Structure formats: structure tokens, C-alpha cells
Amino acid sequence: MARSSRRGREIDGLLLLDKPLGLSSNAALQRVRATFRAAKAGHAGSLDPLASGMLPIGFGQATKVCGRLLNSGKTYLVDVQLGARTPSADGETPVIERAPVPALAPEAVDAVLATFTGAQQQIPPMHSALKFEGKRLYELARRGESVERPARAIMIHRLQRMDVGPDRLQFEVHCSKGVYVRTLAEDIAVRLGTLGYVRALRRLSVDPFGGRPMYALEILEAMDPARLETLLLPADAAFDDLPRVDLGGAAERGLLLGQSVRPSQPAPGGELRVYGAGGRFLGLGEGLGDGRLKPVRLFVPGAGA
């Protein structure tokens, strides 16, 4: 539903944008916001200009989803140039080192990829947005500086070879938040006995939206404005993995005032998605273990949490 205001239309919902190459995530967001004439919009999980693919965009109340999606798993298709290394581990910077590429049998590549699955430790790259003494690492890297970075725990859920050639490897990876795919590509190349950098990167999905359609900017900008809102997902589409609790009138009113309430059916413990009269999505709650639940994040305008 859209409501008009002087700042733009008050729209609620999620759009799965297929971000193009050559455009920053913020630039893509601003174009989508202008296309929808939306008063409020935000994106979940930046893709730099050299990467394409799924960029969830929230409008209105659904902008509250963006923080959770930052912590979601992601799936990428990664095209690696073997036999060379760049400072940024992608094509943004020039090649600074070359190495021969050994003959790579598919079975040997698969064996190497298998060693990268599961819980891993990864050292973040200098070309990253992490901060050191108040400065972004990429700012230091551009000045030719390097500082020690502690390894971080990551999880590689799935890593699959898609193609391999004399100087090229393509793989698909489903990974946790915090994974630097360019560093992963570099480390795989080293384990294969050579060097490598990412020459193409595409985000195929953000959990839990795997298999859902994405929409290109040019399609959106050419579309009849009356049809645009039909592309939006409801905010609760981001929480399909959570148990559902429905509230009656009195409990719904109490929850919207920020109170802990007791549903007619006892609420299970843990994080919950909560619905009110007519199946209206109210937001997220937490089961307290005694059948009650408390509000955590409400998605209803004017609510108390």
C-alpha cells in the first residue's frame, strides 16, 4: 500500500534488485527510490561497483529488515583469473605479480575446494571497509600501508566448482556473513599452486530469498508506475524461518504498546514472527519461556517498540 507525502510516497515492502555492474549500491538505491518515488528506502548488504546481483531494498517499515539481512548467508558466483595477483584481489587494481598455473584436473580442484568448507578462519584484506585506528583499511591500502589484521571466524556452507580452464576457475559459494570472497579466491588459488584474483563476481541470492526473482534497473525504470508495487515482497518474507504466533485483540493491543503479552496458545521460546487480527504482520517478538512473549522489533507505524 502507498500513501502520499511531500517527501514522496509512503511505501512498505521489499524489492530484490539485480544491481548492475559499474554502479555502487547507494547509487542503485537512489535510482530505485526515485523510480518508486518512495519517501524512505534502504539497502541490505553493499555490493561494490565491480559486482552485480541481488541487493535487497526495503521501503518504509521494511527498512527495519535490512539490519537482519546484513547477517544473512549469501550465495555468490565467482570467476577467478589464475596466474596473477592484484593488490585488491580483483580487477580494480593492476596486476603486480604473475605465476605459472599447473595443470588442474577437475577432481584435484574439487579436493582443494573441499578443504575450504565448514568453519574457517580468514584474515580480512587491506582493501576492506574495516577500521584501524579510526581509518578504513582501504584508505591505508591506497596509501601503500599495511597493518596486521586478526583472523575472523567464518562459515563456508557450500563450495562447488562450476568450471575450470587453463587459467580460469569458476565456483559457487554459499557462505556466512563476514566472508571476503576475494580473499577466499586468492587463498584457493594459492592452495592450487598459483596466484589468482576475482575478475567477475555476482551475488546470486541473499538468505532467505534464494530462488525468488530479481529485477534489473532498466526493467524497473521502464515499467508502468502502477505495476511497480506488485513486485514488492512483504516485510515478513525475510522471516520465513521463524515460528509464527498469532495474537487476539487484547494481546495485540498490549504488544503494540510495548508490553509483554500472553497469546491464547503459549509462545515457544526464542525469536518469533508475530501476527495480529486479519493476519497483519506486527513484527518480531521473543518467547520468554513461560508462554508469554515480548516485542523486539515492531513493523507497525506508531507502535511502542
Res 301: pLDDT:
79
- Per DSSP, 45 falls in state S
Buried/exposed 71-86: b ≥16 CB within 10 Å, e otherwise: ebbbbbbbbbbbbbbb
Residue 225, pLDDT score:
85
- Residue 2's pLDDT is 42
Cell 544473512: give the residue.
72
Contact predicate 14/57, CB 8 Å: yes
Closest CA to 73 of 160, 203, 192: 203
pLDDT bucket at 128, cuts 50 / 70 / 90: low
pLDDT digits (tens, 9 = 90+) for 232-290: 999 999 999 899 999 998 999 999 999 999 998 999 999 999 999 999 999 999 999 99
d(CA 187, CA 194) in angstroms, rounded, equals: 10
- What is the residue extent of each domain of the chain? 2-71+209-237, 74-206, 242-298
- The class of domain 74-206 in CATH terms is alpha beta
Place of cell 559486482: 51
Cα–Cα distance measured from residue 54 to residue 214, given in angstroms and rounded to the nearest whole number: 7
What sign does the CA torsion over 287, 14, 63, 54 have? positive
Question: What band does 3 get if pLDDT is binned at 50, 70 and 90?
Answer: very low
* 3-class state of residue 89 by DSSP: coil
Active site residues: 48
Distant-in-sequence, close-in-space partners of 44: CB < 8 Å, separation ≥ 6: 55, 56, 57, 58, 65, 66, 67, 68, 69, 70, 72, 206
Q: Which three cell numbers stand for residue 8?
A: 514522496
Mean pLDDT over 121-140 rounds to 67
* CATH architecture of the region 2-71+209-237: 2-Layer Sandwich (3.30)
State the pLDDT at residue 17. Answer: 98
Q: Which CATH architecture has domain 242-298?
A: Roll (2.30)
Query: Region 137-149: what's the mean pLDDT?
Result: 65
> DSSP per residue over 62-87, as a string?
GGGGHHHHHTS-EEEEEEEEESEE-T
pLDDT at 141: 60
| pTM for this model (two decimals) | 0.89
Strands 281-287 and 270-275: what pairing? antiparallel
Domain 2-71+209-237 and domain 74-206 have a common topology: yes
Q: What is the pLDDT of residue 125?
A: 73
- Per-residue pLDDT at 5: 43
Evaluate whether 82 touches 192 at the Cβ level (below 8 Å).
Answer: yes
